Structure 1
């Protein structure tokens, strides 16, 4: 039994199944062979009956055919030939069936004789029919007919005798085959009984093995599982080597492990309770399902001022000010139940009545079945952060007010400066008219006055533009503009400035004409400002390039030069007002430091974007590319973009 108990469950299950199945298959095989033998015996009996039937039919067909032919010979009427026709049609298949059915050697010899007689009889009947139909010599025809009739009568008698011989032999075979069928049936019944008995014994053996090998020990395991659920000691099982034995051993180890884990969990819960109780920066406590305080920690006591004995059992709405106490606690509970947790920031009340700004998170606590067991509430005093935010908000408002005051000051100052500056430029222009009557030194002075006046007027105009944009008073006339038209006009206006710097000025127009939405004067101002910068600061290069192309739903305008470019450290400050980058090395270049800042504001006010990218044609920091986008009025018709348009920043 120990050997059997130690076998794996797979082998035991195989034995449980194999014993009945082997008996079943053996019984089925024996039944199949017995049934097959019975079928063969019955088939032999049916074949004997068929042979007897067909031999009788052969004799009957030939007898009827002979009578019909004799009647035809005597009367000459064709209706007597119908049995002959039937015999001619039915005899060949009947003889073929007999040839296939006869297997006994003795009967086969008699059948050969029968075939010869049948062929002779059929031939004789055919000769009688031919003799009856023909010949003018009646005497000779009758004599021949008489001879044929007599010969066929003898053949028919011999054929009948041969049929009787075959019938007698088949009768003997039929009796033998019937006895064989009865014998097979008797053995079949005996075999069926033996199979049933063996099946019953095999089933009993399998049930016994199953009960002793599995069921009894499974019941013990079931009892141990119940004891495990109750935390009780388990019953010992024999240390058997199959799966149930190993399961019992593992169940015992699991019981010991669970008891150890229960101990660890209890200790962990105690440590967690001590940790939560000692947290002082956060108020962490539990609420029951009605919202009453169930636990209280040191942080909650420090923040809210209540002792545990004073607050336990009270509703947590006691922490809310009167204006929100009636609705906000219940709303928080409902949100936590619906969403799992609810967070809020607002005023809360301490025990002494003082208020503090708190961040509160309430989390619904549910068991494994989803039943609500209560709530966990975490409160943090955010009063200091709120004060800091208020101070930052106040500082931001003051900074905005100062910026607005600066903008207003620049606007008023620019307007005040423009009036005398217009007078200076007006008188200077009058002096320029009479320049030919002035001395050389006076002409130089007038030129310097006009140059300085125009520079100062440009600075005043830029200040007015920036102050208008910052104040939101810059009105733009957004209208459809042809991109090619804009680029061509910018190239024509900027050409003298670039040529004056001794540089070549090239223009690359887009392949397809498109329409952009922009303020034409402002867009031209931005383009000319970028062209002027390239001409002004390109001291080492030879060319300035203006180009435009379509990029998605926008048009990109680029101004490139092959000058020294801009130091990487200065790129983030490019669009800062009054910041002239590298001014110490460019003292000969005039400028106010407002051009790029003004261009950025103008482009962004037209819903565009402006930027810079260094070129690396011949080395580091070689060349510069400024670009800006303007929105298209309508999408461009679908066509395959060229390689240059695939990268909005160029190469």
Structure 2
């Protein structure tokens, strides 16, 4: 039991060695290791403070006494590993303790300690004593039986038993010796078969534990790799293969041979050479376009590197969200600064004497009012978009006659279209199936799309609103023959503040949020929105909604 506990302690040490900071989350780590190993696990820093314990949490963990004076901790800090059998004041029972430095070469990383009650040790000893006695008895019986059989001369049955024993030794535990009859040879055969049964049970248990480990690894979203001292892969889970699009098989090969990512190979080599854990960001270009955060550490035994372990997190979405956040802050700042600067400039001019010229003053007031209206529209759109994105916008789904909503949206857009001499047509049959939507929100979507078409279609253009049923849904289209959208911009036009021409939307008076609002409102109503366009050929937006 002590040897097993020592091996389990080394395993826990190797798992904790890859953790860059044990101060935060040590108790959760101890709980997880305790569940996996079925033992009490304690994580202690170099000063003796208990950071985590499977049997303690909350106030109990905060109030536990310092463990720097525990014999096994003292020995582990001095020699790397310590063992003790003593009474636990915390658990009030006799325990077997085995402690080890988390980093064999650096005592400052702290101590991991495993413990098992002596009652469990005695139970294990009792479990082992039986098979040992049986084996000893079997040996005596076998020797006596062989002598008796030799004396009797039934060589065939002895040869059969020998073959069965050889099969057992070779791992073929399903084979059984012939145990018919009541003579001494039959008794011996039955004893041999009982040993085979016990061996088979132990092998099944071992395979179950290995299967559980594989299940844990394969269930992780993080990629995990274990290498030998030369950097060849010993073990890799499915997440690693998926993240790096690795070629199979990966075991026995170098990372560069299976993943074709030089930065991955360099990270593994650095971890094998380093004394401390290594962190890398690996950018996967091409079609994958991923950013992977790698945490790696060498595995050392007796001061020698015996391999490396690496954990890979796909942080692509976090990086994208961070980029979107930065762009959003920059765009909002710019959109607010422009009208505020104009308002401030015209107001200062009026303050410094511009009011004496009524005509100039009136023009300045009109400009200030126009910029104030733009600020109001921008803030309203921002609030509206935030509410929709956070699921706080009120969406009342009900059967809606699409023709009525399209007619109202067309009436709102008609004055602006007439101002640019556009031809605006409506082709929405009255007998279309009703759609399941929020009437006001659907109208807002169509108005935003029509407003976009009016703005970016040169004077004298054509804009058409049409709708058709399609496989249990209704698709409404807003089509124009305007300037179109280049292919490289199509994937981003629904982003907040994104402009195909960096200044044209601002020149047309938009906030840059109309399409983003249209997309999120459509999705909130259970619909989809897509765009088809090419430069110089116009643009078509299609909104698909479920039929009521």
Common fold: TM-score over 0.5: no
Higher helix residue share: 1
TM-score, with structure 2 as normaliser: 0.40
* Structure of larger gyration radius: 1
Higher strand residue share: 2
